[in-house]
Amino acid sequence: MRENDLERHVRALLQALDPEPDREGLARTPERVARALAFLTRGYDEDPRRVINGALFTEDYSEMIVLKDIDFYSLCEHHILPFFGKAHVAYLPDRHIVGLSKLARLVEVFARRLQVQERMTSQIANTIAEQLTPLGVGVVLEAEHLCMRMRGVEKQNSTVVTSAMLGVFRKNAQTREEFVTLIRKR
């Protein structure tokens, strides 16, 4: 149903944009674009809390856990153009750790929605804080935005960096600095 609606709207968009919307090269474009948009926004169909649910383990570990360089791709909600980059996620556990792949999946759930990078950063951090109740959470996203590169100001080498620091990552400069140092090491 959703893809049929998307297909119909893409067809109307092509008719408004192209003087020959029925030419051979565009014949199957509405179907392809509809499938692509459904795939790129599949995060709406997933509950981020369920991503972590069931993968919590009791563990006597009290040092920082960092998963860095998580590739992500998203669509800017203002222009529906891609933005993409790396996510770096850390938490300081309080008796519970989570399966590492769950952190990457959580990034994916929020990336696969129409987004702004600032909100996505906070959503990842807040979900980890709510589900794990750690001592703190740190999330940094570094992304390239095609809406900045292809249109408007056309700044080809710009990168946007956003962060969300919760708990000890916000309150303790030493903890925050450790996180930033760890994600900068290559």
- CA 112/CA 12 separation, integer angstroms: 24
Domain with residues 49-184, CATH architecture: 2-Layer Sandwich (3.30)
pLDDT of residue 153: 82
Residues in Cβ contact with 3 at an 8 Å cutoff, skipping those fewer than 6 apart: 34, 35, 38
Backbone angles phi, psi at 38, to 5 degrees: -60, -40
Phi-psi region of 154 (alpha: psi -120 to 50; beta: other; left: phi over 0): left
Mean pLDDT, rounded, for 76-90: 97
Q: Which pair of structure tokens corresponds to residue 123?
A: 């959503």
Domain residue ranges in the chain: 2-40, 49-184
- Does residue 97 sit in helix, strand or coil? strand
**In the chain, pLDDT over 70 holds for what percent of residues?**
99
Is 64 in a helix, a strand, or coil? coil
Give the pLDDT band of residue 152 (cuts 50, 70, 90): confident
Least confident of 67-71, 76-80, 154-158, 160-164: 154-158
Concatenate the DSSP letters of all residues of 123-175 into one string: HHHHHHHHHH--SEEEEEEEEEEHHHHSSTT--TT--EEEEEEEEHHHH-HHH
Global pTM reads 0.94
